[in-house]
Chain A
Amino acid sequence: MAAQHPVPGSQAGLIAGEIGEFPDASTRAVTSQGDGTRHIPTKRPFSFGRWFGATGWRHLVGVVMVVFSLFPIVFVVSSSLNPNGTLTGSNALFSKIGLDSYVRILSDPQVPFATWFANTLIIAGVTALGTVFLGALAAYSFSRMRFTGRRFGLVSIVVVQMFPQLLAVVAIFLLMSTIGDLFPAIGLNTHVGLIMVYLGGALGVNTYLMYGFFNTVPASIDEAAKIDGAGHARIFFTIILRLVAPILAVVALLSFIASVNEFVVASVLLIDTENQTLAVGLTKLVSNPRYADWSAFSAGAVMAALPVVALFLFLQKYIVGGLTAGAVK
């Protein structure tokens, strides 16, 4: 059933386009009266009360919520533009405008912001690619092949994902320091080590998400390709992966955001300041009581948030579907 008719509320259903603007019954009644004949609505004089009762109060709620949503963002943008602000100095919004704080955070020798930024992009980017790849491989086999232990595999993936890696942070730290004693290149304080740990969570919710989506691609496509002489690898890489591109984008983005946000494991594994990610570096920076350059931190925060926000808004439509199915936050 899931293959042909997307289930309401399931990932398939949402990605299939329910994100768009859907009319509901109350709105439809305005334009079509159900019996087929068209009534031309007579123009009534504008009444504030009627407007407010119908949609005006919704705008009121909207404005209140937008203010609530935006004011921290406005605050941080304003203080990032404040050339030499402490926390107090940042309170007068947009009193001064300049890019000095951006220059300061980028050039401060004590704060390797650009390095953190690059580290974050590399770690999160590689993790996202790896997660998509590993997850897609697994989802393909679960979706297209029947083998002993398949059901067990699916169930255990659901079970294991209940226990996030950060619960085992102590063990991860001890494991990685042991590995680091033997193989310094992939142990403690290395990016490769951190990426490997992150990839441990690659199968999990992501595979499940992809599995559901792979199931919506009709198997007859595979069969047609098989008849034409394509092997399983060719079917997977050249046909299936293209058809499921939206879910790959969603998983890549969710994984990217999750790694950018990840603090616990990164802070334990990455010891040297130059190796750290933005989450670790910026958090340690502001939690240092002697660090008083709030504007420079704000500038850093704005720059750190920009790529993620841009990606998020760009892929918004796909993410909503993915979120509903995956529940990441």
Chain B
Amino acid sequence: MQMSTTIGDDTRQDAPPERQTKRQRQASVIADAASGGMKVFLVKLVGLGIVDALAVYAIFVLIAHDQWIPTVIVAAVTALVNWIYFSRRKLPAKYLTPGVIFLVVFQVFVLLYTGYIAFTNYGTGHNGTKEQAVSSLMASSLERVEDSPTFPVSVVEQAGQLGLLVTDPESGDAFVGTNDQPLAEVDAEFDGDAAVAADGWTTLQFADVLARTDDVTALAVPYSDDPNDGAIRTPDGTSGYLYVSNLEYDEAAGTMTDLETGTVYADTGEGAFTAENGEQLLPGWQITVGFDNFVRAVTDPRLAQPLLYVTLWTFAFALISVASTFFLGLFLAIVFNDMRMRGRKAYRVLMILPYAIPSFLSALVWAGMMNQSFGFINQVLLGGASVPWLTDPFLAKISILIVNLWLGFPYMFLVCMGALQSIPDDIQEAAKVDGAKPWAIFRLIKLPLLLVSVAPLLIASFAFNFNNFNTIYMLTDGGPRDSNAPIPVGFTDILITMVYKVAFTGQTRDYGLASAYSIIIFIVVAVISIIAFRRTKSLEELN
């Protein structure tokens, strides 16, 4: 309500004039210029200098990595920022730009990007581009070529990246390369037949090689641009051997052939090389899959069922939480809104303590107290009972609601207290004079007035609880786990904890499916907000 009113009202309420005339604008520009001394200008100059320096650095790095679109964006934004702050006009933009940049990147962009990911197969096994998938497949199936010559090698390092300095035993030329860069000829210093140092590279001493054995043995430097030529690897850091993959990549046909079995894996548009019998070589690569994730989420019965009960529970959890905290808070506000009562302040401070404590801590402590075998509630309060507070699908839900009531009632108490006290006394007195009973005063006068000011907060509270990750995750971790589902989901998961678990826990991370779930939440929250704000507007008109 406040939101809609204030926006609607601001044209007629507070003082600043609607549109200044040209002369007024010029006058204020002159006044501003006159008032800002050298110091202000210097601060501005230094600030912009730092921003520009960082931007130039960023642009160099981006160009070095061939990231052209980000380069253009960074350059454009930097130019815009400079223009805004050096311009004499653009006053509002000077104040809005810093916040808007963060907002656009870390709130608007990431939401749009979530939308994009929902339409891809991004996740474990589908993390990168097709080229990356090809080289990692080739690298993972390398086998040493029998009778291959021994290449003298030295382990070298450049900018934190390890490489191999390889000497061709036949020609005696030196080559250097890394995991990403195929061997290229370099000028090198030789010690006997073997190259030991090259310009721009630091040669690792024997002790360093020993210390980094794992990194060194993991090196596989491609022999040439063609991945089928194989790679040089070294088991000990001094002698290297040629390894070739037992997969053969045919770039023209886009197929991978297993040289041992003869199976041909083709790119069938599924984001991985697939054999005729459906067998896939992983890792694959990232592709857009259209509505696949959404279709899978609602039609695959093993996914659709969890989605259904998780969604229902999310609504139930949010609604019951709002209702229970609100009614308890309202009740307490009424009880303590009485001047005759002593010690109200003390009660209030003690009762809002649950709200003052960070909720993740409270939920963890409650989880300890509700532990079935050792917890305080079972052992002490219930004298050694063994109530499965957090491990029974139904009881776990009740426990969550109790804990969330504990976490949330002080807020509603404070809110209702404020709202009750802001209701003018004369309305009640008038009602009393007209002969209204206390209950009627409450039900017909106080409650409607209270709801007008509290309704937006109830909606906000609903939206908050709809995504109340901490309570669920810290208390039950969504458990007990549903063993039928192929994704790590439990009976007390709400949508947002399901998103988190699908994306970041378990053996396989499925970013695409998680983002699709996010989009579902997004739509639900949007619809509810629209309906709710419409409804509160009508509530407000009652006033």
Interface on A for B, CB 8 Å cutoff? 1-3, 7-11, 13-14, 18-19, 21-28, 30, 54-55, 58-59, 61-62, 65-66, 68-70, 72-73, 75-76, 86-88, 90-91, 133-135, 137-138, 140-141, 143-147, 150-151, 153-155, 158, 160, 162-175, 181-183, 196-197, 199-204, 207-208, 211-212, 215, 218-220, 226, 229-234, 236, 257, 260-261, 263-264, 267-268, 279, 282-283, 286-287, 294, 297-298, 301, 304-305, 308-309, 312-313, 316, 320-321, 323-325, 327-329
B364 to chain A, nearest CB (A): 6
B326 interfacial by beta-carbon distance below 8 Å: no
Are B514 and A327 in contact (CB-based, < 8 A)?
no
B492 interfacial by beta-carbon distance below 8 Å: no
A209 to chain B, nearest CB (A): 10
B161 interfacial by beta-carbon distance below 8 Å: no
Are A2 and B13 in contact (CB-based, < 8 A)?
yes
In the complex, A304 Cα to B358 Cα: how many Å? 8
Among candidates B36, B368, B379, residue contacting A286 with C-beta atoms closer than 8 Å: B368
B527 to chain A, nearest CB (A): 11
Q: A14-B418, A137-B99, A268-B504 are in contact. Are A27 and B339 (CB under 8 A)?
A: yes
Contact residues in A for B36 (Cβ distance below 8 Å): 231, 233-234
B411 interfacial by beta-carbon distance below 8 Å: yes
B40 interfacial by beta-carbon distance below 8 Å: yes
Are A279 and B360 in contact (CB-based, < 8 A)?
yes
Bitwise interface map of B from 48 to 60 toward A, beta carbon under 8 Å scored 1, else 0? 0000000000100
Contact residues in A for B379 (Cβ distance below 8 Å): 88, 91
Selecting from B101-109, B186-194, B251-259, the interface stretch reads B101-109
Among candidates A9, A86, A167, A309, residue contacting B111 with C-beta atoms closer than 8 Å: A167
Among candidates B357, B376, B477, residue contacting A309 with C-beta atoms closer than 8 Å: B357
Selecting from B175-183, B201-209, B220-228, B455-463, the interface stretch reads B455-463
Which residue of A is nearest B70, CB measured? A182
Which residue of A is nearest B341, CB measured? A55
B22-62 with Cβ < 8 A to chain A: 28, 31-36, 40, 58, 61-62
Are A264 and B341 in contact (CB-based, < 8 A)?
no
Are A170 and B351 in contact (CB-based, < 8 A)?
no
B344 interfacial by beta-carbon distance below 8 Å: yes
Are B375 and A87 in contact (CB-based, < 8 A)?
yes
In the complex, A248 Cα to B5 Cα: how many Å? 23
Are B102 and A324 in contact (CB-based, < 8 A)?
no
B239-253 with Cβ < 8 A to chain A: none
Are B464 and A328 in contact (CB-based, < 8 A)?
yes
B401 to chain A, nearest CB (A): 14
Q: A167-B496, A170-B499, A174-B511 are in contact. Are A146 and B418 (CB under 8 A)?
A: no
In the complex, A257 Cα to B522 Cα: how many Å? 25
Apart from A146-B18, A170-B515, A234-B35: 6 A-B pairs, beta carbons within 8 A: A68-B406, A171-B109, A202-B102, A229-B34, A279-B360, A282-B364
Contact residues in A for B349 (Cβ distance below 8 Å): 313, 316
30 contacts between A and B (CB under 8 A): A1-B9, A9-B454, A23-B425, A25-B432, A54-B340, A66-B351, A70-B350, A75-B369, A91-B374, A165-B106, A168-B114, A170-B503, A170-B518, A182-B67, A200-B106, A202-B102, A212-B2, A215-B6, A219-B14, A229-B31, A232-B91, A234-B40, A261-B359, A282-B361, A282-B364, A287-B477, A309-B357, A312-B355, A320-B414, A327-B461
Are A167 and B418 in contact (CB-based, < 8 A)?
no
B15 to chain A, nearest CB (A): 4
Are A283 and B364 in contact (CB-based, < 8 A)?
yes
Bitwise interface map of B from 125 to 153 toward A, beta carbon under 8 Å scored 1, else 0? 00000000000000000000000000000
In the complex, A259 Cα to B504 Cα: how many Å? 21
A312 to chain B, nearest CB (A): 4
A26 to chain B, nearest CB (A): 7
Which residue of A is nearest B367, CB measured? A286
In the complex, A144 Cα to B428 Cα: how many Å? 38
Contact residues in B for A21 (Cβ distance below 8 Å): 339, 344-345
Contact residues in B for A72 (Cβ distance below 8 Å): 354, 362, 365-366, 369, 406
Contact residues in A for B362 (Cβ distance below 8 Å): 72
Are B28 and A220 in contact (CB-based, < 8 A)?
no
* Category for how many chain B residues contact A: 35 or more
Main secondary structure of the interface of A (DSSP, over half): helix
Contact residues in B for A172 (Cβ distance below 8 Å): 106, 110
Rank and list the top 3 A-B pairs by shortest CB-CB distance, nearest first.
A200-B106, A9-B453, A27-B339
Q: A134-B102, A175-B110, A327-B457 are in contact. Are A75 and B424 (CB under 8 A)?
A: no
B447-501 with Cβ < 8 A to chain A: 452-454, 456-457, 460-461, 463-464, 467, 469-470, 473-474, 477, 496, 499-500
B305 interfacial by beta-carbon distance below 8 Å: no
In the complex, A199 Cα to B375 Cα: how many Å? 39
B394 interfacial by beta-carbon distance below 8 Å: no
Are B7 and A151 in contact (CB-based, < 8 A)?
yes
Which residue of B is nearest A201, CB measured? B107
A281 to chain B, nearest CB (A): 11
Contact residues in B for A55 (Cβ distance below 8 Å): 338, 340-342
B95 interfacial by beta-carbon distance below 8 Å: yes
B100 interfacial by beta-carbon distance below 8 Å: yes
B506 interfacial by beta-carbon distance below 8 Å: no
Among candidates A69, A154, A166, residue contacting B406 with C-beta atoms closer than 8 Å: A69
B497 to chain A, nearest CB (A): 9
Among candidates B6, B92, B357, B456, residue contacting A145 with C-beta atoms closer than 8 Å: B92
In the complex, A203 Cα to B96 Cα: how many Å? 10
Are A166 and B364 in contact (CB-based, < 8 A)?
no
In the complex, A42 Cα to B352 Cα: how many Å? 38
A185 to chain B, nearest CB (A): 11
In the complex, A218 Cα to B114 Cα: how many Å? 43
Among candidates B337, B347, B365, B425, residue contacting A76 with C-beta atoms closer than 8 Å: B365
Are B111 and A163 in contact (CB-based, < 8 A)?
yes
Contact residues in A for B508 (Cβ distance below 8 Å): none
Are A167 and B415 in contact (CB-based, < 8 A)?
no
B74 to chain A, nearest CB (A): 11
Contact residues in B for A215 (Cβ distance below 8 Å): 6, 10, 13-14
Are B360 and A263 in contact (CB-based, < 8 A)?
yes
Among candidates A61, A174, A313, residue contacting B117 with C-beta atoms closer than 8 Å: A174
B380 interfacial by beta-carbon distance below 8 Å: yes
Bitwise interface map of B from 432 to 449 toward A, beta carbon under 8 Å scored 1, else 0? 100000100000000000
Most B Cβ at <10 Å: residue of A18, A212, A312, A327:
A327
Contact residues in B for A141 (Cβ distance below 8 Å): 91-92, 94-96
Among candidates B107, B358, B374, B414, residue contacting A279 with C-beta atoms closer than 8 Å: B358
In the complex, A24 Cα to B336 Cα: how many Å? 11
Most B Cβ at <10 Å: residue of A13, A76, A143, A286:
A76
Contact residues in A for B473 (Cβ distance below 8 Å): 263, 283
Are A282 and B347 in contact (CB-based, < 8 A)?
no
Q: A61-B335, A183-B58 are in contact. Are A88 and B418 (CB under 8 A)?
A: no
Contact residues in A for B111 (Cβ distance below 8 Å): 163, 167-168, 171
Which residue of B is nearest A280, CB measured? B360
Contact residues in A for B521 (Cβ distance below 8 Å): 167
B72 interfacial by beta-carbon distance below 8 Å: no
In the complex, A295 Cα to B261 Cα: how many Å? 59
Are B61 and A182 in contact (CB-based, < 8 A)?
yes
Are A58 and B335 in contact (CB-based, < 8 A)?
yes
Most B Cβ at <10 Å: residue of A23, A90, A169:
A169
B323 interfacial by beta-carbon distance below 8 Å: no
Which residue of A is nearest B502, CB measured? A170
Are B96 and A200 in contact (CB-based, < 8 A)?
no
In the complex, A143 Cα to B335 Cα: how many Å? 39
B353 interfacial by beta-carbon distance below 8 Å: yes
B381-437 with Cβ < 8 A to chain A: 406-408, 410-411, 414-415, 417-425, 428-429, 432
B16 interfacial by beta-carbon distance below 8 Å: yes
In the complex, A164 Cα to B31 Cα: how many Å? 41
